[in-house]
């Protein structure tokens, strides 16, 4: 991130923070990043080679609209919403996903409400509709469990838009049905998203990479977790978010 990008990011974040009626009020739903910033995967994720297929491909405009829709879910949560911490370990591209781990933790109690770990990643081809590494019944149960635990919830996570994109695609996926434009529609319309990277941008604005581990060390010194595992990262995210809330607000719960 160069000096101009840092300056623009700080200006945007400062404007949104100063506009809040109180310190613990949620940020404006725009977030400090442009609506088209999200791309499938991230620098921390391994990009898969695209599978060859004669099925029609998603159009760039449809993908951009989906990313903008996900971005619009940021920071619309009220302080009374049910909150959970979500982390996914997956390799994800536009057309293909390998799902390794999912963990959902209740924010208040630290109860692990859902955890899935696969020795061999679940492989999903969005173009052909082929799923490998999981039975049809287990995949349907996974979709139902994700809906029941995440519908009408506020999702907290580091780069939560990525986790949302992965889970939303899993839930809306129809096995053995080749790609159609409707497959890019959002399933979790009522979800609210809180990205803990904003805490890093606020406390460490000059950092070049706003990683979960670095921010956790600042807010929760002396604690450690098995990083890059769903439960380890989700637990660290919860600790970090609650430490920030306890330190900088008077009514965090």
pLDDT at 220: 87
- The answer on pLDDT for 226 being more than 90 is no
List the chain domain ranges.
3-37+56-248
Return left, alpha or beta for 31; rule: phi > 0 is left, psi -120 to 50 is alpha, else beta. Answer: left
Residue 2: beta bridge partners? none
Residue 99: beta bridge partners? 90, 122
Least confident of 40-44, 85-89, 177-181: 40-44
- Cβ neighbours of residue 182 closer than 8 Å, sequence gap 6 or more: none
pLDDT in tens, 108-121: 999 999 999 999 99
Mean of the pLDDT values across residues 172-190?
89
Classify domain 3-37+56-248 by CATH architecture.
Answer: 2-Layer Sandwich (3.30)
Least confident of 10-14, 128-132, 160-164: 10-14
pLDDT in tens, 71-94: 888 876 555 568 999 999 999 888
pLDDT at 43: 46
Contact of 84 with 105, CB cutoff 8 Å: yes
The reported pTM is 0.77
């Amino acid at each position: 991130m160069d000096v101009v990008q840092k300056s623009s990011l700080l200006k945007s974040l400062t404007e949104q923070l100063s506009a809040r009626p109180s310190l613990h009020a949620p940020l404006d739903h725009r977030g400090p990043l442009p609506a088209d910033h999200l791309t499938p995967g991230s620098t921390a994720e391994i990009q898969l080679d695209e599978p060859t297929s004669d099925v029609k491909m998603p159009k760039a405009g449809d993908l951009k609209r989906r990313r903008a829709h996900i971005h619009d879910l940021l920071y619309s949560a009220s302080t009374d919403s049910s909150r959970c911490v979500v982390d996914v370990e997956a390799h994800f591209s536009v057309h293909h996903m390998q799902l390794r781990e999912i963990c959902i933790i209740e924010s208040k109690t630290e109860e692990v409400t859902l955890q899935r770990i696969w020795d061999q990643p679940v492989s999903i081809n969005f173009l052909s509709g082929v799923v490998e590494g999981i039975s049809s019944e287990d995949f349907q149960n996974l979709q139902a469990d994700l809906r029941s635990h995440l519908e009408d919830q506020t999702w907290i996570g580091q780069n939560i838009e990525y986790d949302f994109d992965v889970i939303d695609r899993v839930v809306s996926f129809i096995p053995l049905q080749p790609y159609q434009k409707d497959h890019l529609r959002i399933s979790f319309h009522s979800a609210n998203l809180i990205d803990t990277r904003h805490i890093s941008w606020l406390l460490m604005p000059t950092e070049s990479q706003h990683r979960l581990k670095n921010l956790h060390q600042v807010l929760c010194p002396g604690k450690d977790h098995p990083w890059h595992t769903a439960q380890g990262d989700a637990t660290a995210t919860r600790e970090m978010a609650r430490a920030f809330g306890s330190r900088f607000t008077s009514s965090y719960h």
